[in-house]
Amino acid sequence: MTTNSPATDATHTSTDWQVDYDADPIEIRDPVAEALGVLTSGDPFVVTYTDAVKEAGHSCPTASGAYRIVQLGLDALYPDDYPIRSEIEVQAAGPRDDAAYGVMGRIISYVTGATDDDGFSGLAGGHGSRRDLLVFDAFDPGTHEPTFRFRRTDTDETVEVTYHVSDVPDGGPAIGNLQRILEGSASEEQRAAFAEAWHRRVQVVLNDDSLFTVEAV
């Protein structure tokens, strides 16, 4: 469940952070955090796109696409309540070692807590276990576009989210300045033009719902 205040994601404390994205945060409950007194029972963690960028180490259409995939999927599964970690299974249509699915899977795992066999196994009796809730190569989506399914383990309701990444704007000629930046030969004007074009593409992904298809399966 998302909140209605994009300003939450625009707040930061680091003077090194140079980009403020307009993106609603994701709110999600965690039964382990509640049991251990990290959160008051019933209160959610608030995960922002800035948090996802920190997890990935960069911001790009893949990272922002993953954030929107999990946000839209959870909104569809939990229209009136907070989603709950340990009760969300994530199925990826592609393999873990795929350049897109690997990055997306890590961000989606970060939000939902879902992991494969190396994840948190829960408190006594398995309370809050997130292990074996993330599966790659789980189904054939019938498309080359990144696709994930989210299943509520308490109700078995499942939604599928497809990211139409091929429809994301290309960013224009300024994107070509990246090679000069990597080589250390870019001017300040070229750096600024690249940054503006790059982050504009990211913002489009964060705001344009037409880039995503959400359906029950």
Rounded to 5°, angle at Cα 124 from 119 and 129: 30
Cα distances (angstroms) measured from residue 27 to each of 160, 173, 183: 20, 37, 40
Instruction: Confirm if 24 and 6 have CB atoms less than 8 A apart.
Output: yes
Domain membership flag for residue 122: yes
Asked if the structure places residue 186 within a domain, the reply is no
3-state secondary structure of 198: helix
CATH of the domain at 122: 3.30.1330
Which residue positions in the chain have pLDDT lower than 70?
1-17
Measured CA to CA, the distance from residue 6 to residue 23 in angstroms comes to: 5
pLDDT at 127: 84
Residue 169 C-beta-side C-alpha neighbours within 13 Å: 17
Residue 104 counted as domain residue: yes
**How high is the pLDDT of residue 1?**
58
User: Is position 11 within any domain?
Assistant: no
User: Would you say residue 65 lies in a domain?
Assistant: yes
pLDDT of residue 103: 94
Convert the pLDDT of each residue in 40-92 to its tens digit: 999 999 999 999 999 999 999 999 999 999 999 999 999 999 999 999 999 99
Query: How confident is the model at residue 18, as a pLDDT?
Result: 72
Q: How many domains does the chain have?
A: 1
* pLDDT of amino acid 27: 98
pLDDT at 125: 74
Q: Residue 1 domain-assigned? A: no
Residue 154 located in a structural domain: yes
Total number of residues shown for the chain: 217
**Domain span at residue 127?**
24-170+199-216
What six digits make up the tokens of 138?
Answer: 């789980």
Domain annotation covers residue 10: no
144-170 burial by CB neighbour count: b if 16+ within 10 A, else e?
ebbbbbbbbeeeeebbbbbbebeebee
